[in-house]
Amino acid sequence: MTTDRPGPGDLADRVASAVLAVPGVVDLSGGIAGEIATYLPGRRVPGIRLGDGGAQVHVVVAPDAQIPRLAAAVQDAVRRVGPQRVDVHVDDLREPEQTSATARVGAPVTTSAGTRTSSPTSTPTSTVSP
């Protein structure tokens, strides 16, 4: 029997994409030890923790972001894809050009050495320009 209902990985990926599309959100934050995540077979979605009836979203935002408005925008974006209870945690401030490679999992990343890499998993790494 097949079902059209998305699995937890699909939902976590949709939530992550919705959050990253909000202006002012620079990255998702996995927490100090990377513990904030949705754990899936063979991978994780950092910064998104799904639970019964809700989601915790941990973000890194631009320093000039108006945090109450940004948090409301994140909540609205997440509610459009599923969870209705959304707790938003601002874990850090960072300029957008310092975006972590984990923000766009699977997207090509150009390092400061000019090397193009791919981020197939959500292992925390940073791209820093000299």
Angle at 19 between CA 96 and CA 113, to 5 degrees: 35
Mean pLDDT of the chain: 78
The 10s digit of each residue's pLDDT in 101-121 is: 444 443 433 334 443 433 333
* 27 sits in which H/E element: strand 25-28
Angle at 122 between CA 63 and CA 110, to 5 degrees: 70
Sign of CA dihedral 100, 94, 27, 39: positive
Alpha helices in 21-94 (DSSP H): 67-81
Instruction: Kindly report the pTM of this predicted structure.
Output: 0.70
Integer CA distances (angstroms), 130 to 2, 98, 111, 112, 114, in order: 51, 11, 10, 7, 12
Predicted confidence band of residue 9 (pLDDT cuts 50, 70, 90): low
CB atoms within 10 A of CB 19: 26
The predicted pLDDT at position 53 comes to: 78
Task: Identify the structural domains of the chain with CATH numbers, from first to last.
Answer: 8-96 (3.30.70.1350)
